[in-house]
Amino acid sequence: MQPDIPTKDISLTFMKGMSVLRAFDDAHSHLTLAEIARLTGIERAAVRRLVLTLVHLGYVHKDENRYSLTPRVLVLGSGFLRGNQFGRRVQPLMELCARELGYSVGLTMRDGNAAVYVAQSTQQNARYTFGFTVGSRLPLLATAIGRMLLAWGDDAWAEEMIATLPVERFTPETLTDRTLIADAVRRIRDTGVSIVEGEFEAGAVGIAVPIGALGRAEAALGLSEPMTVVPPSEYPRLTGILQRHVPEIAAALR
């Protein structure tokens, strides 16, 4: 949990600048000032100053009336990865896990109201990819890895997320009833494994296990593969492999 900081000690201008950066995502890679203002809820004149400042600093590129992020934004995330020695300590363990699984594996951490990929195996023999990369954000309510974070994370935070997050229907199988979602999260809390079939990606199954103690876990390890490739009979074996690799990965994250 992040500590509460008095509003008087917070730079609201900086907060707005970060909101502008977060407006760019998979669905919004090239935006006009009006679109950024709509997505952030910030007044357009302020958006213009913020965006032009980011252009000046090299984090945003201007092409006529549209703006997009530049590779320089990756420097912001690389400090976290290098500082926590992901390349030297975590990545080799991810590769070992993926090799035993026979499938790609991803490590996510809780980031506000989403799960964010912080590491991913680079197994060359992986047969499928769903396009997730380091930095990809996944919804908490409809994914195996997101529900795992809810189930084993802070109780108050999880209850708030289940009660307030927008419920999106990604496929016909997506649970949209908050009561049913809460029931699913409770079952995951009891079993220690999260399995979600076809709710986020049609025809795909996600399997995830927690990294951290019950009630305090802020990371999860998981995989996502087509259900035609991974039948239910394989779930226990794959879950067992993920669980065996958790202690070493957890130690590397400390």
- 167-224 pLDDT, tens digit each: 999 999 999 999 999 999 999 999 999 999 999 999 999 999 999 999 999 899 999 9
- 126-155 pLDDT, tens digit each: 554 556 777 788 899 999 999 999 999 999
Q: Do domains 7-70 and 75-253 have the same CATH topology?
A: no
Distance between CA atoms of 219 and 92, rounded to whole angstroms?
A: 17
Flag whether pLDDT at 2 surpasses 60: no
Answer yes or no: are the C-beta atoms of 254 and 89 closer than 8 Å. no
Answer yes or no: are the C-beta atoms of 61 and 68 closer than 8 Å. yes
CATH of region 75-253: 3.30.450.40
- According to the CATH classification, is domain 7-70 in 1.20.1250.20? no
pTM of the model as a whole: 0.77
Q: Give residue limits of the domains in the chain.
A: 7-70, 75-253
Query: C-alpha distances in angstroms, 233 versus 208, 226, 230?
Result: 16, 14, 8
Distance of CA 148 to the CA centre of its chain: 12
Distance between CA atoms of 27 and 169, rounded to whole angstroms?
A: 16
Amino acid occupying residue 33: L
